[in-house]
Amino acid sequence: MRIKICGITRPEDARFAENEGADAIGVVLFSDSKRSVRPERAREIFHAVGPFTATVAVTHTNSEDDLAQIIALDPAAIQIFHPFVFDSHPGPKVIRVIARGDPLPDDCDAVIVDESHGGGKQFDLGHARETVRRSHVPVILAGGLAPENVGRAIREIGPYAVDVASGVEVSPGIKDHEKVRAFIAACRSY
């Protein structure tokens, strides 16, 4: 199972997640989220991990200028809520965020099922299963995941990866290292 620890605001949390076995770290930019950081801080966090840990820039922006600044950070992927049209260009992978009622996009490298678009609201089991069944690209599950329920979610839905932010935090953007460790262990034990 692939694991992304998202909403990271501190380099030490990124290093901890990587050392515990996370496959990817997510940093929020150009968003009204309490976890949003400036590009300079995102660069610092991205540089805190090694070359085998994917870096994901998560954004709610609808600004082309903001998007250019994100691309300049050279993340492995951009997790995006706005329906930007990307021209064919070498660069980061595109992960589109969808919720119940959203169409399955065909202009991305993966989709993330997130009912609350980043707010930690529990995913809809039926929608998540149907998305995994119908999607032609990898499906990432997010929303309401925590060490206590991630194993069941993996078993019942069968996503490509799982993504957690609030389920492993002390406060928004500050990771609880014991919860991060427990989350990753729960995923790996499946």
Catalytic residue annotation: 6, 114
Quick count: other Cβ atoms within 10 Å of Cβ 170? Answer: 11
Rounded CA gap, 148 and 152, in Å?
8
Rounded CA gap, 22 and 25, in Å?
7
- Residue type (1 letter), 143: G
| DSSP H or E stretch at residue 188 | helix 177-189
| DSSP H or E stretch at residue 154 | helix 150-157
Rounded CA gap, 5 and 146, in Å?
11
